[in-house]
Amino acid sequence: MRLNRWLLVLALAVSVGAFHVVPAQADDDTIPVGVILPLTGALAQTGASLLAGAQLAADLVNGHVSYPLPAVGKNGIPSLHKRIRLVIVDSQGKNDQAASVAQQLITQDHVVAILGAYASSNTATASQVAERAGIPFVCEDSTASNLTTRGYKWFFRPTPTDGTFAQNLIDFMGDLKKKKNIEIKKIAILHEDGLFGTGSADSENADALKAGYTVVANIAYSATTTDVSAEVQKIKVAAPDVLMITSYLPDSLLFMRGLKDQDVPLKAIIAQDAGFIDPNFLKTLGAGADGVFTREVFSLNIKNRNQSVPLIDQLYRARFGGKPLDGNSAREIMGVLVLADALNRAKSLAPEAIRVALTKTNIPGERTLMPWKNISFGPDGQNDGGAGIVEQVQGGEYQTVWPFDVAVKPVVWPMPAWKR
């Protein structure tokens, strides 16, 4: 089955108006697929968004979107005549727990593949378990570059890496000078000290120096911290033009409040998504988020987007309390669909057959939810067709501002003064 068949099912479901989602039933005709997410702990709010995306994608694959037209996809994966069944487990955002539940999925739940696990450090430990067991692991949402430099043969990642995203952000700043006459000289880098933050900061630092920027500070902190006043003071003393930040939701909120409290003068904050694209970021900060830039992999506001995107967003909102589709939930949907596509082509539940099918994945960009060229995995398991965009919060909404040829709003520069 081609990937756009499932997208078409959604489009049809929404276009006719009345629809509802019928929950899947666990039976002998299902294919168990493990999904590792942070459902409790500091990342639980993000985990809920990821879970929603996975559930919607599974219902789409299984033909559980009901509408007054002839049913499509009643048998789930056509070549196997089976529905997929998500086996959801909680990593709690902890590395050892992620490894433990991965083992559980393999030995107790007998899953044929695993998706997950959001935090890059959690993904590192969970995928190590899958690699040893010879079980395909599709990483839809972790971006640490070194996850695909370990020589693994069972690990596949559709989303771009922090290295790609860091270069995108440096290119964005370069384009600001070339095309908007906006000059940036001094950059401060701030990041959580886990695999995600450290890898992101290393790439940003190297790319910034190569591009001729002066890095006036490179500050690491624990994502579990409750006091960021010392780090904020260091940023204020360094006096950068731009702060590049890699944070999850709780720490991103702490820093936004801390920067405001200390009235740190910045021309721009440029973030590596994560906490900065979580729906609760805007919900919590309101107008205080205006002017913030963040890289993204997905946008509802972009020129030349896939025509299915607004329809899928409508279905997502209808099922999940009006919340819009975002980068996290969209990546989760794509992860499930990529695996379903491979399962159909494998025509087998044997791990090796699924792995080989994943290596042969070739999905054109127009059949994805993302502004990507394609989804096709290299020898390292990394999709070579992905790239990022840059959004800016304007008037309480994320607006695509780069690349300029797909932007829907011009850049607002500098960011507004801190509101009291």
Tell me, yes or no, whether 35 and 91 share the same domain. Answer: yes
φ, ψ for residue 26 (rounded to 5)? -80, 120
154 & 16 share domain: yes
Question: For residues 95 and 112, what is the distance between their CA atoms, to the nearest angstrom?
Answer: 22
Domain holding 205, by residue range, is 163-296+389-402
What percentage of the chain reaches a pLDDT higher than 70?
89
Q: Is residue 364 a part of any domain in this protein?
A: yes
Q: What is the pLDDT of residue 3?
A: 57
Q: Is residue 124 part of a domain?
A: yes
Instruction: Based on the fold, state whether residues 227 and 111 are members of the same structural domain.
Output: no
Q: Which of 317, 183, 156 is nearest to 241 (CA)?
A: 183
What is the per-residue pLDDT for 61? 87
Each residue of 144-187: pLDDT tens digit?
Answer: 999 999 999 999 999 999 899 999 999 999 999 999 999 999 99
Q: Given pLDDT bands bounded at 50, 70 and 90, which one contains residue 67?
A: very low
Residues 114 and 230 in one domain: no
The pTM of the full predicted model, rounded to 2 decimals, is: 0.81
If asked whether residues 286 and 167 sit together in one domain, one would say yes
Residue 129 lies in a domain: yes
**Residue 336, domain member (yes or no):** yes
- Mean pLDDT of the region 92-121: 97
Whether the pLDDT of residue 286 is over 70: the answer is yes
Mean pLDDT of 350-379: 93
Q: Is 73 in the same domain as 96?
A: yes
Q: Are residues 371 and 398 in the same domain?
A: no
For residue 28, the model assigns a pLDDT of: 64
Asked if 62 contacts 69 with a C-beta cutoff of 8 angstroms, the reply is no
Q: Please check whether residue 413 lies inside any domain of the structure.
A: no
Residues 69 and 198 in one domain: no
In a domain, 83, yes or no: yes
**CATH number, domain at 232?**
3.40.50.2300
Residues 39, 154: one domain? yes
User: Do 291 and 310 fall within a single domain?
Assistant: no
Q: Which residue has the tokens 């990507």?
A: 372
User: In sequence order, which residues have a C-beta less than 8 Å from that of residue 202 and are 6 or more positions away?
Assistant: none
Instruction: Decide if 417 is inside a domain.
Output: no
Number of domains composing the chain:
2
Co-location of 344 and 359 in the same domain? yes
> Is 193:220 a contact under the CB 8 Å cutoff?
yes
Are residues 9 and 151 both part of a single domain?
yes
The DSSP secondary-structure symbol of 145 reads G
Q: For residue 268, is it within any domain?
A: yes
